[in-house]
Amino acid sequence: MIPGSPYAGIMRLVLTTDTHLPKRARDLPPALWAAIDSADMVVHAGDWVDEATLDLLSERSAALIACYGNNDGPRLRARLPEIAHATVDGIRMAVVHETGPATGREQRCAARFPDLDVLVFGHSHIPWDTTTATGLRLLNPGSPTDRRRQPYATFMTATIDAGTLGDVTLHKLPRRHDPPTR
């Protein structure tokens, strides 16, 4: 399946970002891999850090829409766009890593992306799900490997059915047991 092509039926999406492998974890959590393996499309909003993760996600995803992030070096930037665009079952979407501070985000993104229905972004590691006054849906799935100040590491799933984005769900991942410090 090619992004932008017609799709019949309910499409299952996985949204993730800020995987930071292998710096923040050795691998993606099993629950995220299971969701990826059963999804029709995976959306990754940057900060991969290594090419091996991009290669593996590309192999395991039925379709992948992705961009690079601020922690991605020249080799990843050569393979990925700063902003990835796709039309999926009539939904115009884009994926970008950074959208700036939370204050004013809705207005800033609505002005920057006036022709979109959905914008998936990352960078903050803080889950976000809002809709602007113009109808643009803003989604940040958080990070599955680096929860920072959040109580859980996270990712999102969603569906697209007959040109409508639905069933947007934030998945909280089990907390890893960090090794004891010496």
What does the pLDDT look like over 75-118, one tens digit per residue?
Answer: 999 999 999 999 999 999 999 999 999 999 999 999 999 999 99
pLDDT in tens, 156-178: 999 999 999 999 999 999 876 44
**Strands 11-16, 154-161: pairing kind:** antiparallel
What tokens appear for 82 in the block? 């700063």
CB within 8 A of 78, min separation 6: which ones?
none
| pLDDT surpassing 70 at residue 7 | no
Mean pLDDT rounded to a whole number for the chain: 91
If we measure between CA atoms, which residue out of 121, 58, 65 comes closest to residue 88?
A: 65
CATH architecture of 11-172: 4-Layer Sandwich (3.60)
| pLDDT surpassing 90 at residue 179 | no
CB within 8 A of 23, min separation 6: which ones?
49
Phi, psi of 111 (to 5 degrees): -70, -40
| pLDDT surpassing 50 at residue 182 | no
pTM given for the model: 0.91
Inter-residue contact 149 to 96 (CB < 8 Å): no
If we measure between CA atoms, which residue out of 84, 130, 140, 128 comes closest to residue 106?
A: 130
pLDDT in tens, 114-162: 999 999 999 999 999 999 999 999 999 999 999 888 999 999 999 999 9
